[in-house]
Every structure is written in structure tokens, then in C-alpha cells.
Amino acid sequence: MLKQRIITTLVVLPVLLAAVWFETPVHWFTLLMVAWGAVAVIEFYRLSRARGIAPLLYFGTVWTLLFVSVRDASVAAYFNMEAEKVSMMLLVSAIVLPLMWLLRREPRGQAFSSWVWTLGGMAYIGILLGNFVALRTTADGRNWVYFAFLATFASDTAAFFVGRAWGRRRLAPSISPSKTWEGAIGGIAGAAVISLVFVPSTLFSAANALHIPALSYWSAVLLGIVVSVFGQIGDLVESLLKRNMDAKDSGKLFPGHGGALDRLDSVAFAGVVIYYFVWLTR
């Protein structure tokens, strides 16, 4: 299991980092987020179907991809509108159109359950991943995205190894029995340490390509801590979802890690923290 996790990480991480770095000839990161969102929302709806709920799979999948892609200003430009206005129109249509559709669908006794789960998949995956696409378009967006990903990965990795070595007190035994307070604290420390890489303009006597001018050492550490805390909360949320759905993993896309939805949890919550930090402080 551990070997699979390491191999998968070594394969996936360079692809992810390269997609963030290279912006032309197409917006690779937007395409990656769209692909990730497509697989994740299908896994989400498949979990609900296994419990006897019937969300609108095709509608929810298409709208999820729209929620992700229109946060890219170049995509929103095709509608001759700002990304925020297109997103608002999508949100209204995501609420209204499924209700109209479900009026004609049997069994009508499950209509609102189907609507809630359809909307839940679009919001949980589409809107949260869309924050990453929007974050990439901000000033120093590339490095902010790196901050979100690397702080999350550092948090997850440190929490995993610290928890295995010294974990004794269970963090949330009814949701995820393997998580411990010691691991959670280790994760916070790991995110705080990696966040320091983004502060100096030079690193080892060379220009620091990850430098973010808006960050001081204290703000970087504080942001790294918040990213770790919210990321671990996101991980618990996804664990609760799987427990409610009586599933161990959402899929098998990433050997040793699970499905696309399993890898969305902490990263998506971290993206929300970073995006709104940048939005509020710009």
C-alpha cells in the first residue's frame, strides 16, 4: 500500500506541477482541473447511486465542468461576460433546471433527494475546483497554486508518517479511525515549514522561482497552518461521505490513493483558503 502511494505520487505530482507551470499554447491547468472534476463528479454520483439515490448524472457532470472551466477568464470571454457573471448564471440554472427536469421523472418520491445530490456534486466539486482555476489567473497565480498544492501535500505526508510513528489519540474515531491528533499536529507543522519556501526572493544563492512578494514569513506560516487545518477538515468531510455511502474509496484511478474524489478532499478546501486570502488582500 505504501509503495503504491509513493509510486503514484512520483508519477502524478510532476504532471500536476508541469500543468500549473506551463500556460501556453493552451491553459493546461484548466484542462487538468476539468478532467479531474469530470472523474470526481462521476465517482460522487456513482456513490450516491449505490445507496439508491438517482442524481441527474449527465446534467450534473456537464454543469460541473462548466463551473470549473468558466472561472478561466479566456473561457468566460466566449460568452462576452466576466467569469463571475457567468458563474452566477450557471448557479441559478443549476438550481432551477434540475427541478424542472425532475417534475417529469419517476419515481417522484425521490425527486428532491435526486435534486439535492445533483446540486451537491456540482457545488462540492465544480465550485471548489473552479477556485483553483480562478486562482491561477491572479497575480503570482502560478505560485499561489503551488502554495496550495505543496502545503497540502506536505501536510498530508507529515500527518501520515507522524501518525504512523507516534499516533495514539484518535482525532475522529467515528469518521476516520486511522487519523490521530499527533498526525494532525504533524501535518500542520509540515505545511508551516514548506510555506517558508515561498517567502525569500533568493534561495541557495539563486533566484527563487516560487517567491510570492505579498508573503512575509509570519503570514506564510499562518497561511500554511490554515491550509493544513482546512485541508484536514476537507479530508474528514470526504471520509464522512464515504462512510455514509458505505464505501472504502471513491474509485481506483490512483493506486494506493483511491479515486479522483479521494484526492480532491483536502486540496479543494486548501484552494478555497488560498483563493479568498488572495481575493481579500489584493
Predicted pLDDT at 274: 95
Average pLDDT over residues 239-265: 73
Average pLDDT over residues 244-249: 77
Distance between CA atoms of 161 and 189, rounded to whole angstroms? 12
pLDDT tens-digit readout, 30-55: 999 999 999 999 999 998 888 888 89
DSSP 8-state symbol, 203: E
More confident site: 110 or 130: 130
Average pLDDT over residues 81-88: 80
For the chain, percent helix, then strand, then coil, each to nearest 5?
A: 70, 5, 25
User: What confidence tier does 139 reach under pLDDT thresholds 50, 70, 90?
Assistant: confident
Identify which of 33-37, 238-242, 254-258 has the greatest average pLDDT.
Answer: 33-37
Predicted pLDDT at 146: 94
pLDDT of 203 higher than 80 = yes
User: What confidence tier does 281 reach under pLDDT thresholds 50, 70, 90?
Assistant: confident
User: What confidence tier does 122 reach under pLDDT thresholds 50, 70, 90?
Assistant: very high
Predicted pLDDT at 1: 56
- Give the contacts of 76 (CB within 8 A, at least 6 positions apart): 70, 82, 83, 85, 86
The whole-chain average pLDDT of the chain stands at 87
Predicted pLDDT at 33: 92
Predicted pLDDT at 216: 94
Domain positions in the chain are: 1-137, 140-282
Sign of CA dihedral 133, 68, 24, 84: negative
Q: Are 229 and 170 within 8 A, CB to CB? A: no
Closest by alpha carbon to 271, among 141, 76, 89, 94?
141
- Give the contacts of 209 (CB within 8 A, at least 6 positions apart): 143
Q: Are 110 and 54 within 8 A, CB to CB? A: yes
Average pLDDT over residues 151-178: 92
Predicted pLDDT at 22: 81
Identity of the residue numbered 187: G
Average pLDDT over residues 83-87: 80
pTM above 0.95, yes or no: no
C-beta atoms surrounding 85 within 10 Å: 13
Whose cell is 443549476? That residue is 94
pLDDT tens-digit readout, 168-199: 999 988 888 889 999 999 999 999 999 999 99
Q: What is the largest CA-CA distance in the chain?
A: 67
Burial class (CB in 10 A: 0-12, 13-18, 19+), 188: buried
pLDDT of 200 higher than 90 = yes
Distance between CA atoms of 56 and 114, rounded to whole angstroms? 7
Instruction: Give the least confident one: 40-54, 83-97, 241-255, 258-272.
Output: 241-255
